Amino acid sequence: MALTDSLKQLEWFIWHRWREHSRQSGSMELTNSELEYLYGLMSAQGQGLRLTELAALMQVSKASASTMARKLERQGYLRREACPEDARASRLLPTAKSLYLQKEETSVYRETAAAMSRELSPAELEQLERLLAKACRALVLPQGPLPVPDLSPRKQD
């Protein structure tokens, strides 16, 4: 099978697994843009992000980031806390609802990895991991390397 066909099949499988999980949890309400913002927010370690930091990360205007933050806050996916460094600003933090998405995401990728590992020997699986890691280093967007958020589940602050 050609690499392009394999990538399509992999994407299709992951997309279907994600939809199945989303249907059960109710997270299908989110658009791709909303998910992208949440991934950006959840990639921040520690104290969350200020609105200006989120806008810079997403490469959008502060007004666009503000609109999306309000929308995600209304939907229960983010919360605001006072910023300890700047009393005029607030920090955007994921809620328990957002953190649940991390568990869903992790589950989808674990299921995909498990399905692949059932077909591959341990040596083949190790080779696949090494080759995918090498290939992923070449994935660069016009604005720079693709930031991959750490979506491993973590405790809510």
Express each pLDDT in 7-37 by its tens digit: 899 989 988 888 888 888 777 788 888 988 9
Going along the chain from its start, the domains and CATH numbers come out as 31-138 (1.10.10.10)
**Dihedral sign, CA of 8, 12, 13, 14?**
positive
Whole-angstrom Cα distance, residue 20 to residue 108?
A: 9
- Judge contact between 149 and 42, C-beta under 8 A: yes
Q: Which residues of 113-151 are buried (b: 16+ CB within 10 A; e: fewer)?
A: eeeeeeeeeeeeeeeeeeeeeeeeeeeeeeeeeeeebeb
What was the pLDDT predicted at 92? Answer: 93
140: β partners: 145
Give the residue carrying structure tokens 């933050």: 69
Bigger pLDDT: 154 vs 103: 103
